[in-house]
Amino acid sequence: LSPPAAVSQVTVRDALNQALDEELERDERVFLLGEEVAQYDGAYKISRGLWKKYGDKRVIDTPISEMGFAGIAVGAAMVWLRPVCEFMTFNFSMQAIDQVINSAAKTCYMSAGSISVPIVFRGPNGASAGVAAQHSQCFAAWYGHCPGLKVVSPWSSEDAKGLLKASIRDDNPVVMLESELLYGVPFEMSEQAQSKEFVIPIGKAKIEKQGTHVTLVAHSRPVGHCLEAAAVLSKEGVECEVINLRTIRPMDIETVEASVAKTNHLVTVEGGWPQFGVGAEICARIMEGPAFNYLDAPVVRVTGADVPMPYAKILEDNSIPQVKDIVFAVKKALNI
C-alpha cells in the first residue's frame, strides 16, 4: 500500500490567493483589477502579496467605479487578455451588470463565435454578517439565468482553488460567487489539490457525503450546514446524501438525478431568496426529467427569507437557513 497523500489545512482565502498567484505566473495575459486589490493587498486579503510580486501592470487598483473598470476588463478580454475583475461585493456588480451581461455574456454569440471574452468576475456574494440589505444578496439565480455566462459557487478551499483556476483558463466569461464568511475557514486540502495543475472542471457537482434516505443539494456556505444537519439526522437513523453543486451554470443535474433515483427524496438548500431561485430551477429540472418517477414525496426548498436582509442580528439569523431548518425540511420530506 502506498502511504496516504499529505493533507494540510488551508483557508479559502489562502486557496484563492494560491490560485491567483499560480495563474498570474503561468500566463502573462492574466491580470487582476478592482478596488484595493493592489497596494492594500485586497479588501479581504485575497490578493495579498501579488502586487509586490507582479507589479502595477498585472495587479491594478481601480477607482470606485464598477461600470468603468468592469468595462475596461471586458474590452481587455475581447483583445485576448485574461482579466480577473474583483467586485468588493457582488451587490456592487449591479453597477456593472450591463457590462457583465450585455457586453461579456452576449458577445461570443453575437459575433458568431469570432470574439471570445475570457474574463472572470469574482468576489464575495450572499449574506455576510451585520452588513444589512445592500450588502447581503445572493446573485446565483440572477447570473445563473443568463446564457453566455458560466457561474461557479465554491464551498471548500479545494473548490475555491480548483474552480478559480478553471475559470481563469476558460475562454468564456465566468462569474465566481465566493462567500465572505468562508474566507477565514480552514479546510483539508490534499497534496494533489495544492499542485499547480489542479483544476476542477466547471459544471461538475461533488457528492460530499453518501446517503440512502434523502438527497440534500446546496452550494456555497449552506453545503456546510447540510453536512451538519446530516450528522444530526444520522443519530436519528436518517442517512442524507449531500451534494455540493459547485457550479450553478451549467448545472450538473445528472448527479442530482442519480442521487434522487437512489434516495427517492430531495431537499434543496440555498441562502438566496425563494422566488425563481436555484432550488426552484432544480425542482423544475427534476420534475421535467426521468428522476421525477423516483420521487416518493414533493421536493422541499430551504431558502433565505423573502425579505431584504435585516440589520439586527437576531432577525438576520432568522433570514438565513440554519441547520435546524434543514433538519425540519428533511423530516417534512420523509414524513417523520
Strand partners, 244: 206, 218
Please state, in angstroms and rounded to a whole number, the distance separating the CA atoms of residues 225 and 244. Answer: 11
User: Quick one: which of 117, 127, 149 has its CA closest to 248?
Assistant: 149
What's the distance, Cα to Cα, between the start and end of the chain in Å? 44
What would the grid cell of residue 113 be? 463565435
E strands along the chain, which residues? 7-11, 30-34, 59-61, 82-86, 120-124, 150-152, 174-178, 186-190, 206-209, 214-218, 240-244, 247-249, 266-269, 300-302
Give me the catalytic one of 22, 23, 35, 66.
Answer: 66
Please state the φ and ψ torsions of residue 270, each to the nearest 5 degrees: -155, 155
Give me the catalytic one of 22, 23, 35, 135.
Answer: 135
User: Does the annotation mark 145 as catalytic?
Assistant: no
Please state the φ and ψ torsions of residue 78, each to the nearest 5 degrees: -65, -25
User: Does the annotation mark 66 as catalytic?
Assistant: yes
Classify residue 261 as exposed, middle or buried by CB count within 10 Å of its CB (0-12, 13-18, 19+). Answer: middle
Catalytic residues: 66, 135
